[in-house]
């Protein structure tokens, strides 16, 4: 296939489709998916992802290449797992890779600054006043992360009951900020996890091996799980959560393989 035609296909696949299944449902139609046009996806030299030996391009028309062969193989496996059609909603590693190459690598300081903002308003700071069961669950999931930040990072954050904003000590924010990675792939993964969980501290704890992805994900959903335990399952919310979980797992895979 001509290189320009292939680039156009990649751009169409990853720029024109709603990635969240519930968003597609709200549009009242299934997104039009491109038919699979290749036989085999592989990892090539320099971490390049290849389809039938030809390089995959990002939406910004840069080569889709990972910094390690293991990560390139994981991305290629996503392409190989596509069946008759290519569904971007089932390719979270590829989407994250596109974001890293096209955006994060171009403006890492801006991405780090966005993560830093979460350090001032982190999910873990704001605690329930009642009931006792929820208070206990928040403490069980969140207090060890705050203790790690205090002891390992030298970052002493303040917790508060309710949702009224509390200004965190600048020294604590700066101490945690210093652990935000500058390497684009790890930075992009950390940014994704922060946005998905609402917590830069959970993302940093995952990046530094203090929590695994499952524990970080559970900690991010203490309140939601409590509410569903009291009032019943919200199937639509759980569908959206499954979609976000795939994004989380992709980001965790990048941290593991880079």
Superfamily name with CATH number, domain 3-91? ATP12-like (3.30.2180.10)
1: CB partners within 8 A, 6+ apart: 37, 54
pLDDT confidence bin for 251, thresholds 50/70/90: very high
pLDDT confidence bin for 17, thresholds 50/70/90: very low
Asked if 127 and 114 count as a contact pair (C-beta separation under 8 A), the reply is: no
Hey, what are 68's tokens? 């390690």
DSSP 8-state assignment for residue 63: B
Asked if 166 and 125 count as a contact pair (C-beta separation under 8 A), the reply is: yes
* Residue 35, strand partner residues: 85
Mean per-residue pLDDT for 5-12? 54
pLDDT score for 235: 82
pLDDT confidence bin for 132, thresholds 50/70/90: very high
Decide if pLDDT at 165 tops 70. Answer: yes
Decide if pLDDT at 58 tops 50. Answer: yes
Mean per-residue pLDDT for 230-244? 85
| Alpha-carbon span 9 to 82, nearest angstrom | 15
Looking at the chain, which residues constitute the CATH 1.10.3580.10 domain(s)?
106-257
Decide if pLDDT at 91 tops 80. Answer: yes
Tell me whether strands 34-35 and 85-86 are parallel, antiparallel or unpaired. Answer: antiparallel
pLDDT confidence bin for 163, thresholds 50/70/90: confident
Tell me whether strands 41-43 and 126-127 are parallel, antiparallel or unpaired. Answer: unpaired
Percentage with pLDDT > 90 across the chain: 78
* pLDDT mean across residues, the chain: 90
pLDDT score for 27: 46
The CATH architecture that domain 106-257 belongs to is Orthogonal Bundle (1.10)
Lowest mean pLDDT among 12-16, 51-55, 141-145: 12-16
Looking at the chain, which residues constitute the CATH 3.30.2180.10 domain(s)?
3-91
Report the candidate in 257, 247, 240, 255 with the shortest Cα–Cα distance to residue 20.
240
Hey, what are 97's tokens? 């890779």
pLDDT confidence bin for 15, thresholds 50/70/90: low
């Amino acid at each position: 296939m001509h290189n320009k035609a292939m680039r156009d296909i990649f751009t169409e696949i990853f720029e024109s489709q709603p990635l969240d299944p519930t968003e597609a449902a709200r549009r009242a139609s299934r997104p039009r998916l491109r038919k699979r046009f290749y036989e085999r996806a592989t990892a090539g030299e320099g971490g390049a992802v290849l389809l039938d030996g030809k390089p995959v391009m990002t939406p910004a028309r840069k080569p889709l290449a990972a910094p390690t062969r293991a990560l390139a193989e994981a991305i290629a496996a996503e392409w190989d797992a596509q069946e008759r059609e290519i569904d971007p909603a089932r390719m979270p590693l590829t989407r994250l890779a596109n974001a890293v190459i096209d955006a994060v690598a171009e403006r890492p300081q801006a991405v780090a600054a966005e993560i830093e903002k979460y350090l001032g308003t982190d999910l873990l700071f704001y605690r329930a006043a009642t009931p006792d069961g929820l208070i206990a669950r928040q403490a069980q999931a969140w207090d060890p992360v705050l203790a790690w930040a205090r002891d390992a990072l030298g970052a002493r954050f303040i917790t508060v009951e309710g949702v009224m904003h509390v200004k965190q000590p600048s020294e604590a924010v700066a101490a945690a900020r210093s652990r935000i990675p500058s390497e684009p792939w790890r930075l992009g993964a950390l940014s994704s996890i922060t946005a998905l969980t609402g917590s830069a501290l959970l993302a940093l704890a995952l990046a530094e091996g203090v929590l695994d992805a499952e524990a970080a994900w559970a900690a991010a959903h203490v309140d939601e799980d409590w509410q569903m335990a009291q009032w019943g399952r919200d199937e639509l919310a759980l569908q959206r959560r499954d979609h976000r979980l795939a994004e989380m797992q992709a980001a965790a895979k990048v941290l593991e393989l880079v």
